Chain A
């Protein structure tokens, strides 16, 4: 297996085989997929359906819930295609790809004071807020709270904390 953006079947299925053989995870317990770098294509989603995944969670919701055109959809099936990443992934949306029964769980971004121009998706605590040049933890907390409140007061779409824990130090690894 090699390191690729849009993963072929060998990358997807090899992970299942290894986690089953080496960690004893039942194959039918591995239900979800996220693409490395969130790089996926319409074909990736079909490959997931071919081996009976329940859901993908690689797409981004990048329009705030306070915007009438928000793409912060509750998880949905691809019976009528994908409705996220319409401008960034080729061959999705406008009813494509139709994969009945496969769920998409969008990754819901946080938004700072710049609104749609200030999205924060993964590891938001590592980002600078409001277009600043340095990280400001107070500003990070503020926009995370603001987005949470917008979800809470709106349609209660889930909030997501998406982490790369290798970037989060513990104990003596912090120094």
Chain B
């Protein structure tokens, strides 16, 4: 059994928050060489929807975190 590590973020998706998450993830790989993906529980207020699309298309999971 592998040791799973889950990485999540909550609240709005903005350029700052994507940069912030990438500090943790961008340079890392899973043991099988695949890039690291994460779940973003996205709230609507202050969110940049274009970046939500980009983050989803890049293979990440988008979750529901209500409005604010």
Residues of B near A165 (CB, < 8 A) are 9, 11, 16-18, 20-21
**Is B29 interfacial (CB-CB < 8 Å)?**
no
18-63 of chain A: CB within 8 A of chain B:
18-19, 22-25, 29-36, 53, 57
A interface: dominant SS: mixed
Are A36 and B65 interface neighbours, CB within 8 A? yes
Interface status of A11 (Cβ within 8 A of chain B): yes
In the bound complex, do residue A14 and residue B21 qualify as a contact, i.e. CB atoms below 8 Å apart? no
CB-based A-B contact count at 8 angstroms: 136
Given the known inter-chain contacts A23-B49, A34-B10, please indicate yes or no for A1 contacting B62, CB distance below 8 A: no
Cβ of B30 < 8 Å from any Cβ of A? no
A-chain residues with CB within 8 Å of residue B41 when the two chains form the complex: 32-34, 57
Q: A163 touching B21 by the CB < 8 A rule? A: yes
Alpha-carbon distance A23/B19, docked complex (angstroms): 19
Q: How many Å from the CB of B55 to the closest CB on chain A?
A: 9
Option from A148, A163, A171 in Cβ contact (under 8 Å) with B8: A163
Given that A19-B62, A161-B24, A168-B23 are contacting pairs, would A24 and B53 also be in contact in the complex, using a CB cutoff of 8 Å? Answer: yes
Chain A residues close to B by CB (< 8 Å): 1-3, 7, 11-12, 14-16, 18-19, 22-25, 29-36, 53, 57, 105, 122, 148, 151-152, 156, 158-166, 168-171, 173
Q: List 6 A-B contacts (CB under 8 A).
A: A23-B53, A30-B62, A156-B2, A161-B8, A163-B21, A170-B23
